Amino acid sequence: MAEKISPGMQQYLDIKADYPDAFLLFRMGDFYELFYEDAVNAAQILELSLTSRNKNAENPIPMAGVPYHSADHYIEQLVSLGHKVAVAEQVEDPKTAVGIVKRAVTQVITPGTAVDVGQTTDNNFLVALDKGDEKYALAYMDLSTGEFKATQLSDFSTTLSEISSLKAREIVVGYALKADDRQIFEKQMNLMVSEQFDFEDIHSSLSRLENQVASKLLAYVKRTQLRDLSHLQEVEHYEIKDFLQMDFATKSSLELTTNKREGKKHGTLYWLLDATKTAMGTRLLRSWLERPLISSSEITKRADIVQLFLDNFFERADLIEALKGVYDLERLASRVSFGKVLPVDYLQLENSLSNIPGIKNVLLAMKNSALEPLISQLDEIPELIRLIHNAIDESAQRVITEGGVIKTGYNEQLDKYREALANGTSWIAELEAKEKEKTGISTLRIDFNRKDGYYFHVTQSQLASVPEYFYRKATLKNSERFGSKELAEIEEIMLEAREKSSILEYDLFAQVRTETEQYISRLQKVAKAIASIDCLQSLATIAEKYQYVRPVFTQERQVNIVNGRHPVVESVLGAQEYVPNDIKLPEETAIQLITGPNMSGKSTYMRQFAMIVIMAQIGSFVPAELAELPVFDAIFTRIGASDNLISGESTFMVEMMEANHAIQHATAHSLIIFDELGRGTATYDGMALAQAIIEYIHDNIHAKTLFATHYHELTDLSGSLEGLENVHVATLEKGGDVTFLHKIAEGPADKSYGIHVAKIAGLPARLLERADIILQKLENKPVVRQASGEEKEQLSLFPVEDNHQEIIERLREINLDNMTAREALNFLWDLRDDL
């Protein structure tokens, strides 16, 4: 016989059936309860006490709970670990409910829809993906700021790169997903995959597929948030090709916004350039670095303002001070829309808007037309300032329900209730003094608690003096509590005033919130202007600090960087320690082939070039004495070894995939940076591929390319490829010691100095001596190099003697691929014995 289920538990099961993939927090009084498997899992994750409901039943129901006032902390923990949380609230007053209290889910919180993001200023993008006719459409939204954009993408690889760049935690898929693709999203990219097939067309000006994916994303947000979100902006179309194209691997290898070791901001270009003073400015700076411009006119507009801020030191100092008083307007607006705004948020909003006139006056004082577009967007919103100033008390705290939120004088009825409460307090004091004198009970006092209300407190020793008109309310161990008719009358007035004032104050606060909603779009516009101003002053501040110069953009395809520096490395080492380098690529030179030892600075030199290009194309000044550049349309890199262990791809496979991506997508206006390409396979395989790639770029793509290699044989290509030049990292060799000068010089390197690097690494002296002997033997009989295009054959490193011909034949005939390690070792021993 099945166990009988209570009406309350049946209500829980009915709601849970609609949200099977989420932890259901079921409000019961002062707690959110979890049941069954949710309770077991949540107890383990959140370290909660696991109890049970109906303990005496044959199958007790597992149960765990969290207090409602601290639920946000537990929800944040679950969501940060990649779980969904559905919150079921009591949607009717338990006092007036007939039967079981009605409950319903009021919000579903997921990794991509979380808006209470703590202290971080980073965006939290929720991504949606749809597919049609072999093309993909992607839309993304940040619920904490209202940003909403969409684009169309040509292939799955580009789509994955864009999702990675957005650092999304959740993807909403609007089509039937293949198992392999789901595996990529869930296992390799660590994304929560949600589905949304139904949608209401939002009728935007986007393409059909973009409109469809944006509509599905909006439908998913409405389905999970269950409220009108007035702060969501109209969906905006963007094109990846309208910005400097960099795939996720490139951004990662250059460490633009996150470092490789920890995935944090420290040690990145973003970290270096961030002297912003507002949360909006910090987010926008990151966006600029992720998407540098390719329009020289737009770049010039930004650089003009950076120059202006540099030239006006005192005005910039005043501007920085004014910006410090501006809070996160975008997220304050979203809190209003979500109905989560607190009294302190209004005070921050008023303070922020009060700083706008100061910011505007500083910009006006500079008297420059370049600032006019920004000045025009600095809307002070005086009506909102007035509303907040009149309504919200300056000493208001975070809690809405405990009074002290609405300013005295804002509402006449509320003032009357407060007056009654104030008078009641004095009435209580007067009554206490009167009864002390009348009864002669010197320790008599009037106290209050929720259970007994107001009462006279009388100790055991003075009970004999209690008058007849006192009536007993409660008996304690050493005292008793009494009431009187007069005290009850005062209590009735005060409790009514307290209850009604609390309800009225909450209602008035809700009215203020509703009124504020009409200003959300204006707040978002002024937030964008503040963010731009903040980013530009930040670039000016950093340019001044590190003595950067303004880059010059030319129509010619030539690069002339004099004494360029890697900005991050320089900031860590200090200007005195860092060795600057020129980078000169005339119109006719497409490729620089860079040779030189490890640890000598080849990678820094190449990264330096990419960093300068990116900085220049966001409108920043750059670390150099002079920088003349074309506008690049894309940067492709292959720097450093990295296996993709999750997907089982080796270093060499990753190398070839990234090289292919560059070859397939690069144009004559692109920048390609390849470091040690081909080293992941056998020497001659790698060398052959490296040469073929260089020749292909030279003959077919014509992109500006820096190619670092240890294959010294490739330096001969300068004889057959007109657009290739050799450069190397200079060294100083004296008395057997080698010093890396970190300076790029013309021509190929004559040595690799690998043994010297091994010495620095601390390998044993005997091992290094042996390596040096072997090296000298090999260098005395070098590999014969053939000219480009001729048939190449690997020649012997050792002299051939007639009596060794038999051994050589044995070596030629042996099939090494089919030998075990032991067989190969035995074969080697036999050869040595014969020799």
Can you read off the two tokens belonging to residue 646? 């999750």
Measured distance CA(283)–CA(123) in Å, rounded? 7
What are the domain boundaries of the chain? 7-109, 125-242, 274-381+519-546, 412-513, 552-752, 802-834
Confidence grade of residue 792 (pLDDT, cut at 50, 70, 90): very low
Confidence grade of residue 416 (pLDDT, cut at 50, 70, 90): confident
Mean pLDDT of 3-28: 92
Q: What pLDDT does residue 784 have?
A: 39
CATH T-level fold of 412-513:
MutS, DNA mismatch repair protein; Chain A, domain 3 (1.10.1420)
Asked which of 208-222, 322-336, 685-699 is least confident by mean pLDDT, the reply is 685-699
More confident residue, 784 or 335: 335
Mean pLDDT of 555-566: 96
Q: Which residues pair with 448 in a beta bridge?
A: 454
Question: Is the pLDDT at 135 greater than 70, yes or no?
Answer: yes
Can you read off the two tokens belonging to residue 266? 């420290």
How many of the other CB atoms lie within 10 Å of CB of 356?
Answer: 22
Mean pLDDT of 148-170: 94
- Max CA-CA distance within the chain? 134
The domain 7-109 is classified under which CATH number: 3.20.20.70, 3.40.1170.10, 3.30.930.10, 3.40.50.300?
Answer: 3.40.1170.10
Confidence grade of residue 752 (pLDDT, cut at 50, 70, 90): low
Unique residue bearing structure tokens 């039937």: 176
Structure pTM?
A: 0.85
Confidence grade of residue 821 (pLDDT, cut at 50, 70, 90): low
Mean pLDDT of 457-472: 93
Mean pLDDT of 136-147: 96
Q: What pLDDT does residue 790 have?
A: 43
Can you read off the two tokens belonging to residue 619? 């409108």
Measured distance CA(388)–CA(410) in Å, rounded? 11
565-593 pLDDT, tens digit per residue, is 999 999 998 878 889 999 999 999 999 99
Tell me the CB-side half-sphere exposure of residue 362, using CA atoms within 13 A.
23
Mean pLDDT of 517-543: 97
Average pLDDT of the residues of the chain: 89
Task: Determine contact, residues 553/292, Cβ cutoff 8 Å.
Answer: no
The domain 274-381+519-546 is classified under which CATH number: 1.10.1420.10, 3.40.50.11690, 3.65.10.10, 1.10.760.10?
Answer: 1.10.1420.10
Q: What pLDDT does residue 786 have?
A: 40
Mean pLDDT of 531-546: 98
DSSP calls for 503-569: HHHHHHHHHHHHHHHTTHHHHHHHHHHHHHHHHHHHHHHHHHHHT-B--EE-SSS-EEEEEE--HHH
The backbone region for 534, taken as left when phi is positive above 0, alpha when psi lies in -120 to 50, beta otherwise, is: alpha
Using DSSP, state whether 304 is helix, strand or coil: helix
Which class does domain 552-752 fall in?
Answer: alpha beta
762-794 core/surface letters (b: 16 or more CB in 10 A; e: else): eeeeeeeeeeeeeeeeeeeeeeeeeeeeeebee
Per the annotation, binding residues are 596-603
Q: What pLDDT does residue 782 have?
A: 45
More confident residue, 641 or 404: 404
Question: Is the pLDDT at 118 greater than 70, yes or no?
Answer: no
Mean pLDDT of 460-482: 93
20-36 pLDDT, tens digit per residue, is 999 999 999 999 999 99
Question: Is the pLDDT at 819 greater than 80, yes or no?
Answer: no
Confidence grade of residue 213 (pLDDT, cut at 50, 70, 90): very high
Confidence grade of residue 799 (pLDDT, cut at 50, 70, 90): low
Would you report the helix, strand and coil content of the chain in percent, each value rounded to 5?
Answer: 45, 20, 35
The residues, ordered by sequence, that sit 6+ positions from 405 with a Cβ below 8 Å of its Cβ are 343, 392, 393, 396, 505, 509
The beta strands (E) that lie in 2-60 are given as 22-28, 31-35, 51-53
- Please state, for a pLDDT cut of 90, what percent of the chain lies above it: 69
Can you read off the two tokens belonging to residue 572? 């860590």
Confidence grade of residue 397 (pLDDT, cut at 50, 70, 90): confident
CATH of domain 125-242: 3.30.420.110
- 445-449 and 453-459 beta bridge pairing: antiparallel
Total residue length of the chain: 835
Amino acid at the residue 626: L
Per the annotation, binding residues for ATP are 596-603
Confidence grade of residue 605 (pLDDT, cut at 50, 70, 90): very high
Same fold, 125-242 and 552-752: no
Asked which of 70-84, 209-223, 422-436, 670-684 is least confident by mean pLDDT, the reply is 670-684
